């Protein structure tokens, strides 16, 4: 049963729904990974990386809302519960405790890379069936790739 009924065919809704749900989970976890790293970074580049991490959190949180609202507009109930995020994220677990700035940057390069790969797979899935959702994901990937580039540049070849 749908509380909101989309004009998209059911087969399209299934593809789009899976893509949006996966994107939502990865964005929520990315924001948590960035905040955990933000709180635990130490080292000579603390301040600049600390602030850079907040930019990732802002991107992840704003786009998670866009993604969830796109799903809701299509009659799909978004699931951002902690248990769902923990069970389905594509991001590796963050190390416990303090992270040296170079390690914190590696953590973010890895996390962003994992999310970007999965987002591009979702783009491949939704592109042929829903250009509106494709556009939402394109804008997201553009921002994630910018963050990925900037963190890679922080460590040179990390």
Residue 155, pLDDT score:
81
Q: Which residues contact 152 (CB under 8 A, 6 or more apart)?
A: 109, 158
SS3 per residue for the chain? CCCCCCCCCHHHHHHHHHHHHHHHHHHHHHHHHHHHHHHHEECCCHHHHHHHHHHHHHHHHHHHHHHHHHHHHCCCCCCCCHHHHHHHCCCCCCCCCCEEHHHHHHHHHHHHHHHHHHHHHHHHHHCCCCHHHHHHHHHHHHHHHHHHHHHHHHHCCC
Residue 8, pLDDT score:
87
User: pLDDT 10s per residue in the chain (158 long)?
Assistant: 557 888 888 899 999 999 999 999 999 999 999 999 999 999 999 999 999 999 999 999 999 999 999 999 999 999 999 999 999 999 999 999 999 999 999 999 999 999 999 999 999 999 999 999 999 999 999 999 999 999 999 887 54
């Amino acid at each position: 049963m749908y509380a909101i009924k989309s004009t998209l065919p059911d087969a399209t809704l299934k593809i789009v729904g899976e893509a949006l749900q996966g994107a939502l989970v990865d964005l929520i976890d990315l924001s948590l990974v960035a905040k955990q790293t933000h709180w635990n970074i130490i080292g000579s580049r603390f301040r600049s990386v600390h602030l850079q991490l907040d930019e990732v959190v802002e991107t992840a949180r704003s786009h998670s809302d866009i993604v969830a609202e796109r799903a809701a507009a299509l009659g799909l109930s978004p699931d951002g519960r902690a248990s769902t995020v923990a069970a389905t994220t594509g991001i590796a677990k963050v190390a416990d405790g303090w992270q040296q700035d170079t390690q914190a940057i590696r953590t973010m390069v890895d996390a962003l890379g994992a999310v970007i790969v999965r987002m591009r797979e979702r783009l491949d899935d939704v592109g042929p069936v829903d250009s509106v959702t494709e556009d939402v994901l394109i804008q997201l990937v553009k921002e994630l790739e910018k963050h990925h580039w900037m963190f890679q540049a922080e460590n040179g070849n990390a």
